[in-house]
Every structure is written in structure tokens, then in C-alpha cells.
Amino acid sequence: MATNKNLVVDPFCFRQFKGNDSSAGYQGTVFNISMEKFEQIVNERFDPANLQDGYAPFCKHIFIENDFTDARLCVLPITKENEHCLRTKYEARNEKELPVLSRYFDKQLLLKGKDEEDVFPVAKYLDLILYSREQIIKENEAMGKETAKNEDGEEETAPWGIVSIKAQDIPTELPMTPITAMRNALGKDHGGSGVPVDREKYLEAFKYWKDHATVT
């Protein structure tokens, strides 16, 4: 029988775990730890008092000390020494989304002639980005996806779904990338959440991301 959990890995986040087929083509952080073990550890450490507000009422963050994975930092500052490793591409995270332009560091170019530990330190924290069960159901319905099931094959009822995991060095939220805010504003039918762009937060994000980029 399934045990009661506060947090479960949402199917959208399966790609971040090596045991899942969708991880093969994913260029972000992929964990070697099993999804089941990950869920066990984060639920043991879960304290609702530590939930922090996200970009919308249905979104929360919780920061976990990363002493149980080898996940490395996946966001770096842009410098004169590494700017030649920047690339751009149009991409959609699934077949329902509209492709958008993204900018990123090419990991292989950054590593050329260097050891991974010298370029990407192990992250001190994991930022678990959570969506409420109600929001996940709404987005699944809008995208024509099946309702998530638990290990008993029953409809998932855990109050929070982990939709993304960021490996980072600080226990606070990094700004959402401007293009993600734009995608969200497109609405659920196009892969977003339906939350309109907040101009002030967008400009704050711009100030950060004009000098930083993710690594893929």
C-alpha cells in the first residue's frame, strides 16, 4: 500500500532521474539516486514551515541541504573566459509546448581540457520547485494528459508535486528566466501556467540572467 507523502516527483520531473527513459535526452541536472530514494529523503526532511512562496500562489519552494547527491551547479556567471561557450536554440520541453529561444552554456565546450570538479562544484543546496495538486490537475487537463498515479495505480493525492529541481549554492530562489515567464503567460494550452508577466519581477530576472546562463 502506498504511504502518505507530502512531496512526490511529478511526471514532468521524471527526466531529472537517470532511471527514466526521458532523462536520456535531458540536458539539465540528472540525478543518479533513484526517484524512490529521493522522495523518501525529502519527505523525511519536509517541514511545511520551510515552504517559501514562488511566483504564484500555487507554487512553492523548499530548500534541502544537498548532502545525499552528487548534483553539480548548473548555472554559471558569464565571463570573458567562457562567453565563447554560449549557444542558443529553440526548444520545447514536451510536444504540447510552443518552442521558445533559450541561451545556455555548452557543457562539453566548458569542460574542454578541464576536470568536471574544477568547472562545476557540487551544489550545496537543492531547490525543490513545487506545484499544488490542484494546479497540476488543471494543467494536465488543459494539456490532455492523464492524471498522475501513485505506486498503487490510484490517483495521486500528495499535496505537492516536485516539478523541477535546481542544484545551487544558496538556499534562496534564483530568478525565473525571462523566457519561462513569457511561456507561462501564454497559458495552459501552450504549456504555461497562465500567470501573466509581472513587469517588476521580469526586470529583476533580466538583471540576473543577462550575466548568467544555465549549463546543458
Question: For the segment 159-208, what is each residue's pLDDT rounded down to a tens digit?
Answer: 999 999 999 999 999 999 999 999 889 888 888 889 999 999 999 999 99
Distance CA 120, CA 167 (A): 11
Burial of 115 (C-beta count, 10 Å sphere; 0-12/13-18/19+) = exposed
Q: How far is CA 145 from CA 5, 137, 158, in A?
A: 22, 9, 18
Taking residues 137-141, what's their average pLDDT? 91
Q: CA-to-CA distance for 113 and 111, rounded, in angstroms?
A: 6
> What does DSSP assign to residue 27?
-
Residue 99 predicted with pLDDT over 80: yes
% of the chain with per-residue pLDDT over 90: 73
